[in-house]
Amino acid sequence: MPTSRSIATTIILAASLLSAHADEGMWTFDNFPAEAVEKAYGFRPDQRWLDHLRLSSLRIAEGCSAAFVSPRGLVQTNHHCARACIQQLSTSAKNLIADGFYAREASDEVRCPDIELNQLIDIRDVTDRISKATAGKDGEAFSKALNAERAVIARECSGNDDNVRCDVVALYNGGTYNLYKYRRYQDVRLVFAPEQAIASFGGDPDNFEFPRYYLDLAFLRVYRGGNPLDSSANYLRYAAADAKVGDLTFSSGHPWASNRLETVADLEVQRDVSMARLIFFQAELRGVLTEFSARGVEEARIAADSLDELENYLKGNKGRFSALADTSIIRDRAAAELALRAKIDADPALRAQYGEVWDNIRRLRERFRGTWNRAAYAAGLGFKSELFGFAKTLVRYAAEASKPDEARLRDYTEAAFPSLRQSLLSTAPVYPQLEKLTLSFALTKLREVLGPDDPFVRKVLGRKSPAEVAADLIDGTGLASVELRRRLLEGGQKEIEASSDPMIVLLRAIDPDLRAVQKDFDENIWTPLTKNLALLAQAKFKVYGTSTYPDATTTLRISYGAVAGYQKNGKPVEPMTTIDGLFGRATGSSPFKLPASWIAARPLLNPQQPVNFVTTNDGVGGNSGSPVVNRSGEVVGLWFDNNWEGLGGRFGYDGSVNRSIAVNVGFIREALTKVYRAERLVRELAN
């Protein structure tokens, strides 16, 4: 917070803060700053180069990135991105998380119950259509018009082809709308995954840190019609050599979310509310799951995926909270804001158009603060259970399916149906014991944040305790059965209304409440907020005229940078780790315990082989699994993380310390050849 003395200084500083940092940016493929790259690195990717990288890149629909790396549909991603599949294919007899998996023969490749891959085949600007449809509208009318036009555009685009997925994407907070057309792949099989102990060697303590030694790798394969997909037109070859310090690198993936265009009020609310309260929830749940896992091997196995995912989010949120609480990000943003407001206020025309934006946003954010608990808990925090999720989707789908497509909730349009169906009919196992644990926990927190006297809480709990309600629901529901879910999905509203399944009964009772919360939030907070943020983006553009990239939105982006170390606490951090360092760090105790396969293979391994490396490439969560390529477009690495400082990348990019972390291609090759003797894979990757 600037004091009176520092305001003058900070205004002067502000100008410099607004100029783009070198290597900054998660760029859309249709607006890549080729000139800047050429200026900085002497290489200018042409359209063909960009198209090839785009078409070789993949999105995992659940929220990760990946890429084709062979002509026969082989896909490279992170172990932590394929983790749910690996766990779902495990049984109490065969723990693929602990032991790893390798399909020695093609016929050993096993289908993942839930994974959908998307390949971006076209981008089109549809801003005009959306603007026309929403012109002069506000609040509910605006939302309705926006959703309706989105559904129409998406349906026109996909033409009811289940193999095509079309999303209308808001960029620059709705300053622009683009239509993203994807090819959709739902038959995805597991080919290879190393043991968790090497995939995330160092575990949670080392997560989001560097130096690092993760083999955070999995291979999948896309099938079509029972055979491996022919991906020969678009795949990325493995480079023969690792990248070296200073080398130019590109990464292509789907960063989830960034908040770089937001105001001080937005960031303060993130710190005080969204981040802090989420951490409170997640930290306690982590304690519950950790202690549950300590009960025995089977408990550890069934909770492993939830716990791992949770720990990853939790540590990420702690890093982001720390970026907002402990660094100068908010102070810098305040300085930049003062400078911009001064310019806007100095020009009557600009002032009339944009002068109120910041106060509007602050007011909306205060409202956001007040309704966050209800909105976040209604949206999911309060009901952590797969079976609850099935019931909610089924009840909503039945209700929405009877409406015209363009009047439906966004996640229930025809275009969304294939993914929705896949997740509902997934054969992934559901663990009742774990379900009761997390649902009971979530209901307890729901009561904690809304209070035991809240009418919605009373509606959910009645006179029972959260544990009793969770036990009754999970023991009573039949929704663990795929067949029942199929029947309810296909039977429509009639079947849903006739159901006496307690989870369906609960959802019938409370879905109107959940919808009302969501509607209020969307119309009275989210829509006006994004409108004001879009105005802000416009205002910045008018004042500074700089071309920039939109905040991340889970859509495909490309970033560039170079292999480079950084300084931490006044000491240099080298940009690469080695196999020698990996063995030096192993203690024999989890999470610093190497798998037997690695101990056995040690004599064969090249101790100087680089393991992980850092680059200045801009990227945030969701980039996990992104290919990192050299100027020839060849894979030199596999993006899997940011460093701790890089978690602040959600809010701003600081090239001096923000780093992307990747697995070296040479390390992958060394592991496949010498540790796993995965000749079939090695040969395929040499294509």
Among 137, 318, 410, 542, binds a second copy (CB under 8 A): 318
Among 463, 490, 571, 603, binds a second copy (CB under 8 A): 463
Q: Would you count residue 579 as binding a second copy (CB under 8 A)?
A: no
As a whole number of angstroms, the distance between CA 330 and CA 260 comes to 11
Give, in degrees to the nearest 5, the angle at Cα 214 between 26 and 661: 25
Among 96, 191, 239, 279, binds a second copy (CB under 8 A): 279
Please state the φ and ψ torsions of residue 342, each to the nearest 5 degrees: -60, -40
Q: Cβ contacts of residue 123 below 8 Å, gap of 6+?
A: 28, 29, 30, 178, 179, 180, 181
Q: Would you count residue 371 as binding a second copy (CB under 8 A)?
A: no
Contact (Cβ atoms closer than 8 angstroms) between residue 65 and residue 80: no
Q: How many residues interact with a second copy (rule CB under 8 A)?
A: 54
Q: Would you count residue 8 as binding a second copy (CB under 8 A)?
A: no
In order of 114, 378, 413, 521, 539, the CA distances from 514 in angstroms are: 26, 6, 19, 11, 36
Residue 228, beta-bridge partner list: 223
Among 73, 202, 621, 649, binds a second copy (CB under 8 A): 202
Contact (Cβ atoms closer than 8 angstroms) between residue 631 and residue 572: no
Q: In the complex, what is the shortest distance from the CB of residue 356 to a second copy, in angstroms, rounded to a whole number?
A: 11
As a whole number of angstroms, the distance between CA 161 and CA 179 comes to 16
Q: Would you count residue 574 as binding a second copy (CB under 8 A)?
A: no
Q: Which two tokens stand for residue 112?
A: 């993942």
Q: Would you count residue 468 as binding a second copy (CB under 8 A)?
A: yes
CA 425 to chain centre: 23
Strand order in the sheet with 610-615: 557-562, 248-253, 627-629, 635-642, 660-664, 610-615, 576-578
Q: Would you count residue 592 as binding a second copy (CB under 8 A)?
A: yes
Region of 147-155, 251-259, 448-456, 534-542 interacting with a second copy (CB under 8 A): 448-456
Cα R_g (the chain), whole angstroms: 25
Residue 301: what residue type? R
Among 127, 234, 290, 524, binds a second copy (CB under 8 A): 290
Among 149, 167, 195, 209, binds a second copy (CB under 8 A): 209
Q: Would you count residue 278 as binding a second copy (CB under 8 A)?
A: no
Which of 128/326 has CB closer to a second copy?
A: 326
Q: Would you count residue 288 as binding a second copy (CB under 8 A)?
A: yes
Which of 42/588 has CB closer to a second copy?
A: 588
In order of 154, 383, 500, 684, the CA distances from 466 in angstroms are: 41, 11, 21, 52
Which of 268/634 has CB closer to a second copy?
A: 268
Among 24, 206, 308, 645, binds a second copy (CB under 8 A): 206
Q: Would you count residue 264 as binding a second copy (CB under 8 A)?
A: yes
Residue 120, beta-bridge partner list: 182
Q: Would you count residue 459 as binding a second copy (CB under 8 A)?
A: no
Count of CB atoms within 10 A of residue 591's CB?
15
Q: Would you count residue 338 as binding a second copy (CB under 8 A)?
A: yes
Q: Would you count residue 313 as binding a second copy (CB under 8 A)?
A: no
- CA torsion sign for 91, 95, 97, 99 is negative
Q: In the complex, what is the shortest distance from the CB of residue 231 to a second copy, in angstroms, rounded to a whole number?
A: 40
Q: Would you count residue 272 as binding a second copy (CB under 8 A)?
A: yes
Positions in the binding site for a second copy (CB under 8 A): 1, 3-4, 7, 202, 204-206, 209, 264, 268, 271-273, 276, 279-281, 283-292, 295, 318, 321, 325-326, 334, 338, 341-342, 358, 369, 437, 441, 447-448, 451-452, 463-465, 468, 587-590, 592
